[in-house]
Structure 1
Amino acid sequence: MFEFLRSYVIYFALLSGIIGLISLHKLPDTKAKSLVILIWFSILIEIVGYYFTYWTGLLNYYVYNFYMLISISAYILIIRSLLPKRNNKISAMLFLILFVFSFFLNLLFFEKDMNNSFIYSFAVGVLVVMILSCLYLVEIFNSDKILNFKKSVFFWYILGILVFHVPFLPFMLAIKWFLVKQDESIFSLVLFILNFLTHSCFIIGFLWSEKKYNY
């Protein structure tokens, strides 16, 4: 019934990506501009993922596993760059190594090839991003940045990441561990809602943020 909704997800990304380009003047350095790059990278992945099976005859798990590795690694590095404390920066790098290691461990011992969903690596990545996001939020709320945190594009971007990944992880684990049948209609509906909320956060960040708080 809702299977068609999945095809509309890319339009949310296109909208936030276009608004991101329009807002580039408020994104002063490479770190801030990388948020827009990641959105357009996700658009490219959606396009390639859509046509991948048609082009190769293979399932598009290859595309989305690659995207998961790159995107979560990028999230970790972005959050690391926002953490002022040296110990937290070191922890972020160790978490990045852990995530990358879990990806290849998943490949070698669990799924055996890339043509499956790397749910265990995804779980590790989401937990790492959650922990680092909490460190980021704690540092904000314990500093004078709390007065203007809503004017930072990074706050809204990280919130968008959490809005998508935190609910999506238990949904995928339920399918994997409890053998819940993956209903394409429900799956598409969940993706549609989470992408709507995520890109809404991105758009708010681009529109509400101010340049001086985006360093």
Structure 2
Amino acid sequence: MNLLTDFSYLFEITTGVVAFFSRKKFKIPFYNFFFYYIVLVVLVETLGQVLRGYQINAIQLYNFYTFFEFNLLGIIYWKLTYENQSHKSISFFLVMFNIIYFLSFVFVDLQNYTVIIGAVIVSSFMILYLKELLNSSKIIFYEGKVSFWITVGFLLYYLTSIPFQAVFYIIGLESRELFYIQHFIIILTHLCFIYGLLWSKKEVS
């Protein structure tokens, strides 16, 4: 692995450690699912590195990861939103994503698009959450809410992953610089997570 890859992996582990020790600080419905998401990321990245070390193709590992990744995100933003219309939208698009995901094992070419489709869908979930936050009294204290910083990190990662995945899978352009950019974005994403976990106010439902 190169230095930037090592750093991005280290930040993922650091987020996992900080999230583990923050469980008592954030006893709110969505937080457990965020913690599961981070644990999943660390486990998959660790196993992926082991497989690559033995020169084993890890593509199927990441295909299965995609299912749990986007469904966990759907649950997170279901828990974070309150409006009935938001819940209907999240439920509908999550079902649509899962249909596309399972169809991709029949129509294999779809696997080139599932991550892009998933990124667009979950980004819309995050926008629904931010819209509700903006229209609530909680907006006054947004900088002290861990869910805000987690959403900033997620948006940073998933909105930038859309063009990255499009260039790599659809256009077929492979570039070392693109992977450097991706790992740099991962580091920024986890910095948002860590900042939010450390500096946000305690929340108990």
Same fold (TM > 0.5): yes
Q: How does 1:30-109 map to 2 (within 5 A)?
A: 30-53=29-52, 58-109=56-107
Mapped partners of 1:86, 1:121: distance in 2? 27
Deviation at 1:82, TM superposition (A): 1.2
Ranges in structure 1 where 5+ consecutive residues have no aligned partner:
113-117
1:136 maps to: 129
Within-5 A mapping of 1:142-153: 142-153=135-146
Counterparts of 1:153 and 1:74, CA distance in 2: 17
SS of the residue aligned with 1:193? helix
What is the match of residue 186 of structure 1? Answer: 177
> More deviation in 35-44 or 142-151?
35-44
Shift of 1:54: 5.2
Aligned-pair Cα RMSD in Å: 2.0
Q: 1:206: which partner in 2?
A: 197
Pairing of 1:149-188 with structure 2 (within 5 A):
149-180=142-173, 182-183=174-175, 185-188=176-179
Q: Secondary structure at the match of 1:148?
A: helix
CA contact (8 A) 2:157 2:185 kept: yes
Tell me: higher relative CO, structure 1 or 2? Use CA pairs within 8 A at least 6 residues apart: 1
1:15-34 to structure 2, matched below 5 A, reads 15-34=14-33
Structure 1 residue ranges, 4+ long, deviating more than 4 angstroms after superposition: none
Q: What TM-score comes out, normalization by structure 1 length?
A: 0.87
Looking at structure 2, the residues matched to 189 and 74 of structure 1 have their Cα atoms a distance apart, in angstroms, of: 26
Contact 2:67 2:101 in 1 (8 A): yes
Q: TM-score, structure 2 length as denominator? A: 0.91
* Structure 1 Cα separation of the partners of residues 41 and 20 of structure 2: 15
Q: Is the 8 A contact 1:81 1:89 kept in 2?
A: no
CA contact (8 A) 1:5 1:188 kept: no
Whole-Å separation in 1 of the counterparts to 2:8 and 2:135:
36
User: Per the alignment, in what secondary structure is the counterpart of residue 190 of structure 2?
Assistant: helix
- Measure the CA separation in 2 of the matches of 1:105 and 1:174: 23
How far apart are 1:30 and its partner, in Å? 5.0
Shift of 1:25: 2.1
Opposite residue 149 of structure 2, the aligned amino acid is W
C-alpha distance after superposition, 1:39-64 (max 9, x if no partner): 12211111111122456x64101111
Aligned identity (percent) is 25
**Structure 2 unaligned runs (5+)?**
none
Could you tell me whether the CA contact under 8 Å between 1:16 and 1:203 is conserved in 2? Answer: yes
Q: Is the 8 A contact 2:144 2:201 kept in 1?
A: yes
Q: Give distance in 2, aligned partners of 1:200 and 1:93.
A: 30
Deviations 1:163-207 (A, max 9, x none): 111112211201223232x12x32431222111111011011101
Moved more, 85-94 or 198-207: 85-94
> Cα offset for 1:96?
0.8
- Paired residues, what number? 205
Aligned to 1:6: 5
